[in-house]
Amino acid sequence: MSWFRKKVYPPFWKSYKECFRGKQNSEFKNIRFIVFDTETTGLDIKKDRILSIGTIAVIDKTIKVSDNLECYLTQDLFNTETVKIHGILKQGTIHKVTEQEGIIQFLEHIKNAVLVAHHAAFDVAMINQALKRLNLPKLKNKVLDTGHLFVKSKLDTSKKHFSLDQLSHRFNIPQHDRHTASGDAFITAILFVKLLCILKKKNTVISIAYLQRSNERIGL
Amino acid sequence: MNTIAKRISDFLKDFPPFNMLPKDELLAICKAVDILYLEKDTDLFITGTPIKNQFYVVKDGAIGLFEEETNTLVDECDEGDIFGLRALMRKDSYKLTAKALEESIVYSLSAELFENYITTNSEASAFLMTSFVSNTRYSEPKPQNQSTEKTQDFFEEQSIDFSKNPINCSPETSIKAAAIIMTHKRVGSIIITENNKPLGIITDKDLRIKIATGIISTEEPVTKIMSSPVITYPENITVAEAQIAMLKYKITHLCITKDGTPNSDLAGVLSEHDIIVVRENNAYALVKEVKRTSTPEQLQQVRKRAEHLLKRYIKQQIPIAFATKILSAINESITQKIIDQAIKEMPTPPPTNFAWLAIGSQGREEQLLLTDQDNAFVFNNVDENEYEKTQEYFLTLSKKINQKLEIVGFELCPADMMASNPAWCLSVSQWEQQFKKWITTPDKDNLMLCTIFFDFEFVYGDKSLVSSLAESIFESIESRDIFLTYLGLNALKNPPPLSFFRQFLVERDGEHKDQFDIKARAMMPLVDAARLLILSKNIKTHNNTIVRYEKLAELEPQNKEVFLACLEAFKNLLYFRTQQGLLHNDSGRFIDLQTLSKANRLELKSCFKAVKEVQDLIQTRFKLSQFL
């Protein structure tokens, strides 16, 4: 009976899983955050596919340009409607990898970092969907959402859903390379650092648990 | 692919020294950048802490560098400015504290990559060196002799004019006969030749040492005392070569021969004096030419040549103080010549003694480019019933002078600050009353007039009239302390735009909309401050702003640094304005900021720092805070 049999996972997943063994780094200052963004063919998690992933690391409120990943995935599914948003052509000159290769690179890169994204639930779901297609379990990382962190800052209580555009405008973050995965990841990283500063002012000690805590899932 | 690194390099490529690096090298640096976000008032590094292996570039916002002990702002860095590098090069702890003056984003760059790419690039490292010298006052003083070096550089490549008809005699000539020839021809040397080839030389010095001491009889032949062999050079010898040869052989005369060897025909003799003449030749020649001219039209030509000279000075980076002195001397001699001509055209000689005064920037001898005229006239006191007639005479004379100066190229003053204006053509006692009135009722207009007329400089006529004027100013000031307070407030009316390049402080409307007024916003505050401080010391002999700051630095050793910074700043601004003026063929007063290079911006910024410092000093000294 196959559901009793222990699943056998490929080596990259094993080494990814290894990262979560043992005591996790708990000192906030030393935590490696990976701010990331995915560009997709659309917003339907089941149907749509990831076109590109961009990440950048933040450690101790410092954005590490050297610690980044930028990869583009080959597509079978192609949505001409979203091309005008992300600008990635089906063919084009950019070097592309398969979805599996992209996921491998992503897992190798993020390791046990705390993931950060704007409306993170969507990006995480897209990655999880890709993992599922590879017969793999869901991401194991802790996840923070900059949209949620902004609501937590209580700077604006008018609504609970703020777009990256609205927030980057509000926080004076130049919108270069908006709608590329790397560009959005970078904007999100700056937003994340700014929000950390604001939240730190309100709370002398901030922890991942505090940043994660939320009653509602937003962003999906 | 690294879109983010590319974006960072897109930003850095506009700023020196990064703009001097090849694309791939810059990108390699950018790939390793850390990006820091600093909230207002947070520290990036603190005095005394060990250096990090990083240096910083401001992306957004502003970082202030503070001296910890006194908590004074030493430098303000904004977009594109580099900091934290000095400590890195010195490899010890931070000497300053870096604090965010406002919310800022800062790029932190790796020191290793910096060393790999930037210090190995000669252009980039040269930029950093000069920006260190000009950007902050935290720099090693420039070597004192720099200015003279520069002046010489200019002439060194030039070939030299030597005397083409050297005085010579045969070896059989007696010393006495040779001395007679030298005296007759008024030369300091004589060459002893045989078949027109130089054998030896006798100079005045030989006559003094060997003859006048009685050691050798004057009846002996010249060969007895001549220096031989002679040092010979070819005809195309440069100033530098000549100087080196004289130093090397410890001699003051060189023989010039056809092929440069002692075995060819004598072509001339080059003395130390010829080198001195060459050095001052250009300006000297112009002043000499002024003396020979007879019409304003000819003087106009001389003035045009002076303009060329100025252009070359600027191009060759001749020190501005030197250029100013030369140009002022030329302007002065032109004016003197014009006055001579005008007096000749009058039907009768002047009825009494008078003096022609340059006022404003002309009076301060700070005028390099052709601008409009600013002058005034003072004449000896005369009987009351003679006054009108006397003034009438001098007004007619002044009008002639103003018109002739206009022909030369000095446009008439649109505000009529000229000697032909009855208000500015007065007797000594009338002037004294005028000054007194301004000093006792220092309203806005009167203060403005003070700033123009107090900087008067004697140009022509009876100098004693001028000294009594100066004395009367000090007497009036002494009896009215409050006047200096007003003058102080006036000097502070244009605060320096310290955060200048982020909030472009430009003219809001009019012809020069969106341009920066370098005169009103940077130079006048320095001029006003120098005048106030020197007046408060009862010194009238120093009109020139550079000289005033020199004197102030001497009088107040405790504030020496501030005054020297002002002096440097003023020189830079004057230089800069002249350069701009020559470039755009105007007064150079309004500058389009977009056209400035980062290096120019750094220099301008350091000038503003000096303005700020001297204004702070004035505010404290004249207790002006209560009025501001």
Kindly state whether A67 is in contact with chain B, defined as any CB-CB distance less than 8 angstroms: no
What is d(CA B170, CA B177) in angstroms, rounded to the nearest whole number? 11
Q: Which residues of chain A from 75 to 114 reach within 8 Å of chain B, CB to CB?
A: 94-95
Q: Check residue B160 and give its pLDDT.
A: 67
Q: How much is the average pLDDT of B32-56?
A: 89
Q: Check residue B407 and give its pLDDT.
A: 92
- The helix or strand, by DSSP H or E, that contains position B405, with its residue range, turns out to be helix B384-408
Give backbone dihedrals phi and psi of B262, rounded to 5 degrees, phi first.
-70, -10
* CB-defined contacts A:B, below 8 A: 60
User: Closest Cα of chain B to A13: distance in Å?
Assistant: 25
- Is pLDDT of B517 > 70? yes
Mutate to test the interface with B, among A63, A95, A184, A186 (most CBs of B within 10 A): A63
Burial of A74 (0-12, 13-18, 19+ CB in 10 A): middle
Considering only CB atoms, which chain B residues are within 8 Å of A65?
2, 4-5, 8, 30-35
Give residue B56's identity as a one-letter amino acid code. Y
Strands (E), B324-414: 354-358, 375-379
Domains of chain A and any CATH numbers: 28-212 (3.30.420.10)
Task: Output b/e per residue, A179-204; b: 16+ Cβ within 10 A.
Answer: bbbbbbbbbbbbbbbbbbbbbeeeee
Mean pLDDT of chain B: 83
User: Closest Cα of chain B to A86: distance in Å?
Assistant: 14
Considering only CB atoms, which chain B residues are within 8 Å of A172?
60, 103
pLDDT tens, A100-145? 999 999 999 999 999 999 999 999 999 999 999 999 999 999 999 9
As for the ipTM of the complex, it is 0.87
User: Closest Cα of chain A to B4: distance in Å?
Assistant: 7
- The helix or strand, by DSSP H or E, that contains position B64, with its residue range, turns out to be strand B62-67
Kindly state whether B26 is in contact with chain A, defined as any CB-CB distance less than 8 angstroms: no
- Is pLDDT of A187 > 70? yes
Which residues, listed in sequence order, are joined to residue B168 by a DSSP beta bridge? B191
pTM of this prediction exceeds 0.80: no
Q: Check residue A138 and give its pLDDT.
A: 94
Q: Which residues of chain A from 188 to 207 reach within 8 Å of chain B, CB to CB?
A: 189-190, 193-194, 197
Of B2, B35, B39, the CB nearest to A62: B35
Considering only CB atoms, which chain A residues are within 8 Å of B2?
65, 68, 70, 182
Computed from CA positions of residues B579, B585, B588, B592, in that sequence, does the dihedral angle turn out positive or negative?
Answer: negative
Q: Check residue B148 and give its pLDDT.
A: 37
- Is pLDDT of B245 > 80? no
Cβ of B3 within 8 Å of Cβ of A70? The answer is yes
Task: Give the number of other Cβ atoms within 10 Å of residue B583's Cβ.
Answer: 12
Kindly state whether B113 is in contact with chain A, defined as any CB-CB distance less than 8 angstroms: no
Q: Check residue A2 and give its pLDDT.
A: 54
Q: Check residue B510 and give its pLDDT.
A: 60
- Is pLDDT of B138 > 60? no
Q: CA of B40: which chain A residue's CA is closest?
A: A197
> Which of B60, B66, B21 is CA-nearest to residue B43?
B66
Of B1, B34, B103, the CB nearest to A63: B34
Kindly state whether B33 is in contact with chain A, defined as any CB-CB distance less than 8 angstroms: yes
DSSP symbols for B188-224: SEEEEEETTEEEEEEEHHHIIIIITTSSS-TTSBGGG
What is d(CA B112, CA B84) in angstroms, rounded to the nearest whole number? 14
Cβ of A68 within 8 Å of Cβ of B32? The answer is no
Cβ of A193 within 8 Å of Cβ of B37? The answer is yes
Of B5, B39, B105, the CB nearest to A65: B5
Kindly state whether B105 is in contact with chain A, defined as any CB-CB distance less than 8 angstroms: yes
Of B3, B30, B33, the CB nearest to A183: B3
Cβ of A197 within 8 Å of Cβ of B37? The answer is yes
Cβ of A183 within 8 Å of Cβ of B7? The answer is yes
Considering only CB atoms, which chain A residues are within 8 Å of B39?
197
Output the 3-class SS for chain A.
Answer: CCCCCCCCCCHHHHHHHHCCCCCCCCCHHHCEEEEEEEEECCCCCCCCCEEEEEEEEEECCEEEEEEEEEEEECCCCCCHHHHHHHCCCCCCCCCEECHHHHHHHHHHHHCCCEEEECCHHHHHHHHHHHHHHCCCCCCCCCEEEHHHHHHHHCCCCCCCCCCHHHHHHHCCCCCCCCCCHHHHHHHHHHHHHHHHHHHHHHCCCCCHHHHHCCCCCCCC
Contacts of A47 (CB under 8 A, 6+ apart): A77
Q: CA of A72: which chain B residue's CA is closest?
A: B1
Contacts of B415 (CB under 8 A, 6+ apart): none
User: Closest Cα of chain A to B104: distance in Å?
Assistant: 10
Of A54, A65, A94, the CB nearest to B8: A65
- Six token digits for residue B499: 């955060």
What is d(CA B480, CA B474) in angstroms, rounded to the nearest whole number? 10
The residue behind tokens 């030419």 is B289
Q: How much is the average pLDDT of B546-563?
A: 93
Of A65, A94, A182, the CB nearest to B34: A65
pLDDT tens, B140-171? 333 333 333 333 334 445 566 677 888 899 99
Q: CA of B44: which chain A residue's CA is closest?
A: A62
Q: Which residues of chain B from 291 to 330 reach within 8 Å of chain A, CB to CB?
A: none
Cβ of A190 within 8 Å of Cβ of B37? The answer is yes
Length of chain B: 628
Cβ of A62 within 8 Å of Cβ of B36? The answer is yes
Q: Check residue A195 and give its pLDDT.
A: 93
In order of A215, B316, B521, B534, B607, the CA distances from B571 in angstroms are 66, 15, 15, 18, 9
Considering only CB atoms, which chain B residues are within 8 Å of A186?
3-4, 7
Task: Give the number of other Cβ atoms within 10 Å of residue B573's Cβ.
Answer: 24
User: Closest Cα of chain A to B95: distance in Å?
Assistant: 24
Of B4, B31, B36, the CB nearest to A186: B4
Cβ of A64 within 8 Å of Cβ of B34? The answer is yes
Considering only CB atoms, which chain A residues are within 8 Å of B4?
56, 65, 68, 177, 182-183, 186
Q: Check residue A79 and give its pLDDT.
A: 66
Considering only CB atoms, which chain A residues are within 8 Å of B108?
62
- Is pLDDT of A219 > 60? no
Q: Check residue A152 and give its pLDDT.
A: 86
- Six token digits for residue B359: 């006022």
Kindly state whether B3 is in contact with chain A, defined as any CB-CB distance less than 8 angstroms: yes
Mutate to test the interface with B, among A32, A59, A66 (most CBs of B within 10 A): A66
What is d(CA B570, CA B63) in angstroms, rounded to the nearest whole number? 26
Considering only CB atoms, which chain B residues are within 8 Å of A182?
1-4
Q: What crossing angle do the helices spanning B296-315 and B384-408 adopt, rounded to 10°?
A: 60
pLDDT tens, B296-350? 888 888 888 888 878 877 776 777 877 787 788 888 889 999 999 999 999 999 9
Question: Which has more pLDDT, B85 or B554?
Answer: B554
Looking at mean pLDDT, say which of A28-37, A151-160, B184-193, B511-520 comes out highest. Answer: A28-37
Mutate to test the interface with A, among B8, B29, B35 (most CBs of A within 10 A): B35
Give backbone dihedrals phi and psi of B104, rounded to 5 degrees, phi first.
-140, 150
Kindly state whether B502 is in contact with chain A, defined as any CB-CB distance less than 8 angstroms: no
User: Closest Cα of chain B to A69: distance in Å?
Assistant: 8
Task: Tell me which DSSP letter residue B618 carries.
Answer: H
Give residue B295's identity as a one-letter amino acid code. T
Mean pLDDT of chain A: 86
Q: CA of B39: which chain A residue's CA is closest?
A: A197
Question: Which has more pLDDT, A77 or B342?
Answer: B342
What is d(CA B121, CA B113) in angstroms, rounded to the nearest whole number? 12
Q: Check residue A5 and give its pLDDT.
A: 64
Cβ of A62 within 8 Å of Cβ of B34? The answer is yes
Considering only CB atoms, which chain A residues are within 8 Å of B61?
none
Of B3, B32, B108, the CB nearest to A182: B3
pLDDT tens, B458-513? 999 999 998 888 888 888 888 887 888 888 988 888 877 655 544 444 455 566 65
Cβ of A65 within 8 Å of Cβ of B3? The answer is no
- Six token digits for residue B375: 């002058």
Considering only CB atoms, which chain B residues are within 8 Å of A64?
34
